[in-house]
Amino acid sequence: MPINVEAGRGGWIVVTLHMSSGEELPFLFDTGTSDTLFDKSLESELGKPIGMTSLQSWGTRKEVHVYAMPKLYLGGVALKTGGRTSIYDLGHIMNGADSHFVGILGYDTLRNYCIQLDFEKGRMRFLDDKTADKSEWGKAYSMVALNRHDERPAVALNLLGQRGPHSLIDTGSNNDGWLVPKRFHQWTNDLPVKGQACSPFGLFDGKKYPLVSLGMANVESDGIGIRFLARHLVTLDFPTRKLYLQLQTVAPLPDPNLKTTKAEVLDGLINDVLMQDEAAASNDVAKIGQGGATELEKNVAKKLAATLRDAPKLSPDNEPEEVKNLPLGDAQYESAKVGWLEPAENRIPLNMEIASPLLDSGRIYATGLFAHSPSRYIYALGGKWKTLEGEAGLHTAYQYHADGVIFIIKADGKEMFRSPVIREATHARYNIDVTGVKTLELIVEKAQAQNSGNWALWLDPTLSR
């Protein structure tokens, strides 16, 4: 069966079920919820209640009515469900979310099946685990009950690489996972953002994963969410209590609402950069240089791999006279400040929104500066250069989400260039006379009070003599 394109890419898995009447009902596929539940809007279709039960959600307990489970169908096949269901107000879960659903397909139903989730291909497969060839499923992990009172599926690992209290396998959690408060505080060392931890790397079963985001939850167990699972081909063999993971990408899957420029020849190198593996990056640059890549792609590869090396750079006023052209991404600035994340040259800094480090603004650029507004880069020229030439624009992913920016260039405090308001795919081009200039400033201002999505980029800004 197809699964929705947002699944594992910032969204949940939503499947379409049918009742006996033929009515189509979108349900959240949630291994982390014990029972299959219906939204309160469907209460009239469930008949009379047959009892009461206590429903717990993230530490909050509530008494709710119990109903006989109606027949549910998936792809024309009647599902094996638990005998009972309850009503729950799902509105607060969906508040602000892109997905809409009127029920939760929980573990009481899913436990009867062997289900494979192929996020890259957008497919869900129901498999016969007795006859299937499991050699392509990846590494197997034992699934155990979360605790003696809770049969939901868990593994004896967490995303810090530690064994200990079990981690709930929760496709209803939209992030990589969470930690119980004790481990969260031990690891995050009082980060300024309460309730969320971001790290360059997570660790699961000895493997490093970049850009892992962990929240904190006042529950008894750690958890593993859909954003982490979606980096794999996932097979949930519930009848034999096995989880299989086949790695497909070390980075989070891209949000389908944020478009980026494809550069398949650079994919391996991008993973190396995300993993901060300088040796692997050097090998991939050599392969790209020997293959059929374009000259631009080869240059991008060299510049991107170089960002992993902590090699000193020269200020433009100290560059030897024989250097006639100097990309500012290769030069040492006097100072730099950006409005979001951190200053970065010839790449996008590590971040949770866009995994790709490429300078991407309608096409890929080899050199440049990340300059989310409000931002300022200052360079010492020492009066030794004649021109500054280049482009400026917004990152492809945010061109149609940004509030808008204005690019400004100052020479010794005098404004030499001011772009119109840049939104969408518009670029600004500049060719500035900097003869005799000692101090150069590249400034990006927000175009209005709001500053959302203003991922500004200085693209191939180059000094010439």
For residue 114, what are the β-bridge partners? 127, 237
Mean pLDDT of 14-35: 93
Query: pLDDT at residue 390 above 90?
Result: yes
Query: pLDDT at residue 191 above 50?
Result: no
Q: Quick one: pLDDT at residue 88?
A: 86
The strand pair at 150-155 and 177-179 is best described as unpaired
62 phi-psi bin (left φ>0, alpha ψ -120 to 50, beta other): beta
> 356: helix, coil or strand?
coil
Q: Quick one: pLDDT at residue 332?
A: 98
Query: pLDDT at residue 210 above 80?
Result: yes
For residue 379, what are the β-bridge partners? 440
Q: If pLDDT is split at 50, 70 and 90, which confidence band does 164 have?
A: low
DSSP 351: -
pTM of the model as a whole: 0.89
Which H or E element spans position 183?
helix 181-188
Per the prediction, the chain carries an average pLDDT of: 91
> Tokens 């107000």 identify what position?
89
**What token pair was written down for 433?**
């006379």
**What token pair was written down for 56?**
């717990």
The C-alpha atoms of residue 289 and residue 29 are separated, in whole angstroms, by 45
- Name the residue among 440, 379, 433, 442 with its Cα closest to residue 406: 442
Query: pLDDT at residue 183 above 80?
Result: no
Higher pLDDT, 162 or 461: 461
Mean pLDDT of 416-445: 98
Lowest mean pLDDT among 33-42, 91-100, 109-118, 344-353: 91-100
CB distance 122 to 5 below 8 Å:
yes
DSSP 96: T
> 330: helix, coil or strand?
helix
Contacts of 250 (CB under 8 A, 6+ apart): 208, 209, 210, 231, 271, 274, 275
The C-alpha atoms of residue 226 and residue 6 are separated, in whole angstroms, by 11
**What token pair was written down for 398?**
């945010």
DSSP 314: -
Query: pLDDT at residue 196 above 80?
Result: no
Contacts of 405 (CB under 8 A, 6+ apart): 373, 394, 421, 422, 444, 445, 446, 447, 454, 456
Query: pLDDT at residue 197 above 80?
Result: no
CB distance 67 to 42 below 8 Å:
no
The C-alpha atoms of residue 235 and residue 242 are separated, in whole angstroms, by 8
> Tokens 């392969």 identify what position?
287
Mean pLDDT of 197-213: 83
Q: If pLDDT is split at 50, 70 and 90, which confidence band does 215 have?
A: confident
CA distances 120 to 3, 26, 98, 190, 394, Å, are 10, 21, 20, 35, 27
Contacts of 192 (CB under 8 A, 6+ apart): none
pLDDT tens for 238-251 read 999 999 999 999 99
Q: Quick one: pLDDT at residue 335?
A: 98
> 221: helix, coil or strand?
coil
Q: If pLDDT is split at 50, 70 and 90, which confidence band does 186 have?
A: low
Q: Quick one: pLDDT at residue 97?
A: 54
Query: pLDDT at residue 193 above 70?
Result: no
Q: Quick one: pLDDT at residue 185?
A: 63
The C-alpha atoms of residue 68 and residue 240 are separated, in whole angstroms, by 28
| Amino acid code (one letter) for 427 | H
Q: If pLDDT is split at 50, 70 and 90, which confidence band does 214 have?
A: confident
Which H or E element spans position 141?
strand 139-142
What is the length of the chain?
Answer: 465
Q: If pLDDT is split at 50, 70 and 90, which confidence band does 217 have?
A: confident
Q: Quick one: pLDDT at residue 184?
A: 65
Contacts of 146 (CB under 8 A, 6+ apart): 152, 153, 154, 166, 168, 220, 221
> Tokens 């560059």 identify what position?
319
Q: Quick one: pLDDT at residue 195?
A: 46
Query: pLDDT at residue 400 above 90?
Result: yes
Alpha-carbon torsion angle 148, 153, 158, 162, nearest 10: 50
Q: Quick one: pLDDT at residue 5?
A: 92
